Every structure is written in C-alpha cells, then in structure tokens.
Amino acid sequence: MTYQETTEYLFSQLPQFEKEGASGYKPGLERVETLLQLCGSPHKQLTTLHIAGSNGKGSSSTMLAATLAESGLRVGLFTSPHLVDFRERIRINGEMVSEEFVVQFVEMIRQKMPPELSPTFFELTTALAFAYFAKEQVDIAVIEVGMGGRLDSTNVIQPLVSLITNVSMDHAQYLGNTLPLIAGEKAGIIKPHTPVVLSRSSEKEVTDVVVAKAKELQAPLTLADREEEILMYQSLKIGYKVTTAHFGTFTLPLEGEYQIENLGGVLQVLLLLRTKGYEIEDTALHQGLQRLSHYGLRGRLEVIQQINPTIVIDTGHNPDAWQHLAPTLQQWQKEGGLVMLIGMAGDKDVPHVVTQFPLEAHYIFCQAHTPRALPATELQALAKAVGVTHSEVIPDIHEAYKVAIQRAKELGAETLFVGGSNYVIGELLTH
C-alpha cells in the first residue's frame, strides 16, 4: 500500500471515535494488549510519562516533551487528535513518524491480526506509536491519554510519573455524568507506588477522588497548585512572564491563564524527574517553551495572522475550556471588536459552551465535514437563545473563513477568532 492508501484504511476501515462518536468508542484494554503482543510488546521496552485530564493534556505533554528534548534526550510524543496529517500524533524530538514506518507497521499488523479482533483506530494507532518509539530507542516517551484514563488504550504502560491536568464535565456520556465519576476514570492512570501530579485541585469533589485513589495505591501525590513553585506571573502581549522557585524567570508564550495552571503541573513533573536522576537545566525549560510549535503544539490561542485582522485559532471545545477562553474573548471584543467563526461537535455540551460566548461579537457559524458535527443552524439557534444578536450561517468552513475576514474588515473588528472544534481548525489548516 501507499501511505495514502494506508491512512485511508485507518480512517475508513477502523471504528474511529473522532469521526463517528459512540460507534467508534470501545473502552477496555484487551484489544490493544493483543495488538501489542503481536508486535513484540514494545510498550514494555519504554520509559514513559502518562498524561490525562479534561483539558490541557496536549499543552502539558508538549511542554514536557520539549523540555526533555532540549535537555539532550531522545523524546517520543504521542498525542491526539491530529489537525492536518495523521503523523502529527507520533513524534520524536518534534519530527513526525515517517510515512514508510506507518505503511510497514500497518501492513505487518494486518497480516498478523486475527479477523475477530476488530481494533479501533485509536487502539491501532497506540500500538503503532509504541512500536515506533521502541524501534527508535527513545530515552523517554510522553504519552497523552485519548479519553478518560482507566480504560484508555494507553493505560497499558507503567510510567515514571503520571500527570492529571484537571477534571471537568467532558465526554460525560462515556465517562460518567458527575465530576467524581469522571475523576475516577482519569485517576485510573495512577499506578501503585508511582508518583502522580494533579495540576488543578480547586474542585474538592475531584481532588477527594484523586487523593483516595493515590492513597489506595500508595502513589505519592503532588497537588501542583498548592505548591509554591510559581512565585509570580504577569501578562505580556502574547503569553506571560513567569518567575519560579526552581526554574528561574522565563516567558511562557501561550495565551490564556489556564496555561499557568498547566505549567504548574509540568514543573512538578520535571522536579520529580530531577529526583530520579534526570539532568534538566533551567535553560532547557526556557528554550523548550519557546519552541513548542516545533514540537507539535498548535491551536492554543495561536495567532496565524498578526493584523488586518489579527486571526487567532483555538481547539477548545468544552465548557471548562470556554470558561477560560471567555475573559480573553470579552477583552478582545471590548478593545477592538471581534468576529467569531465557530463550529462544534454535536456530542459536546454545546448549550453550556454558548453561555460563554461574548454576546456583542459578530458570529459566523460553520459545520465541519464529519458526522459528529452539530448543524450550523442548530448552533446558531442555541447562540440566539443566550442573547447572541449578530450572526449568520455559512456551513462550508473555507467559504465561512473568507466571509469572516471580509466581515472583520467591514465592521472594523481587530480580531477574528476561529474555534469550537478540532475539526474546524483541522479543515482550516488543511488549506
């Protein structure tokens, strides 16, 4: 097979949650364990970090991978979803897995795989990532959970440290309809006698679950936001100037105050790695944070055009993410006017997300080419119900993007924000 034929097989022949929703979600570790046995149990050859959480997994994983790579290590990074190219999910020191390896692995596993196994897209991708990292003999691999934790395909590893960024009401139909239930699924990555860090402990009902699980497994627990590591931070035009207890003063070039929370968890993981003998210089962190895009981080309040209008993209897609986005968007609306190009997945908590929309902005609602997409007309109706008064529907993302730029110029709005879904950002970046 060619690379294109291989990815078409992955996308079309295997159940894919990101495309199909519930029909593509098969919780449990049996299938991935069988796949891994078929390719020599590569996960058992790896030294890993494991990252779970409702939001901030990708940012935290990339911060860790970038810092460790800048420390001179060979670092694997497994994240999801991809925005443009499947290979974005699997990187070593920022470089994507080769097309050749993807083709060879898929051909090999298809020949060995019993017909009744029927793995999901994510299960086969997880096995592919572990096999690649083992073959390339990475020093350490940073592994981001796909969904939940306890029954996620990645939960076959025995990490050096586990990190749970935060817990909010996301994927409730799969993980449970209360915060404690979802927290229990995230806490499923905690392993016996293995250090675990929780980035945000402000929700007592979440923290109680994580504390209880860590105690049960005798896993040393660090509540990052209760440590006095981040001494102070101040806003810059883009990002923050941060002063810390153990890593000096540096710039975090990511927008959104939630990134300070993510950084707090990352710093505690790095401190734990130092106690395990890893030589992580302050400058490695400083340099790594400046090169996050090289290591694969996209779509976190990312500025893709500076002026006329400033265009910012973000993949935040649940109420917790939008709660953190809202103050920034309100500020942009107040300071210079704002056009919002928004599309969302229908299985997200859209009614709660729209309550975070800045009401005075001009909206263009679109619809990604996926069965999971919420029809743009329905999104507009939900937005109108909470008080949005200026909106139009243009389902096609590329046409909507052209019109959004035109509207920003017509209205004199300084900022165009594009977001609501990984699919929207992925389709936009594809062109």
Distance, in Å, from the CA atom of 347 to the CA atom of 368, rounded to the nearest integer, reads 14
Amino acid, single-letter form, for residue 177: N
Instruction: Write the CB contacts of 352 (distance below 8 Å, at least 6 apart in sequence).
Output: 169, 319
Q: Residue 322: in which H helix or E strand, if any?
A: helix 319-336
Please check whether residue 72 is in contact with residue 274, taking contact to mean a CB–CB distance below 8 angstroms.
no
To the nearest whole number, what is the mean pLDDT of the chain?
Answer: 94
* Integer Cα distance of 351 and 12 in angstroms: 31
Q: Which DSSP state fits 309?
A: S
pLDDT digits (tens, 9 = 90+) for 185-194: 999 999 999 9
52-68, pLDDT tens digit by residue?
999 899 999 999 999 99
Instruction: Tell me if the pTM is above 0.75.
Output: yes
Q: What is the DSSP letter of 95?
A: E
Q: Is the pLDDT of residue 146 over 90?
A: yes
Per-position DSSP letters for 236-303, written without gaps between them: -SSSEEEEESSS-EEEE---STHHHHHHHHHHHHHHHHHHTT----HHHHHHHHHTTTTTT---SSEE
Model pLDDT for residues 204-246, shown as the tens digit of each residue: 999 999 999 999 999 999 999 999 999 999 998 778 999 999 9
Q: Under DSSP, is residue 45 helix (H, G, I), strand (E, B) or coil?
A: helix
Q: Residue 166 in contact with residue 55, Cβ under 8 Å?
A: yes
In this predicted model, what pLDDT tens digit does every residue of 97-134 receive, in sequence order? 999 999 999 999 999 999 889 899 999 999 999 999 99
pLDDT tens per residue, range 351-380: 999 999 999 999 999 999 988 899 999 999
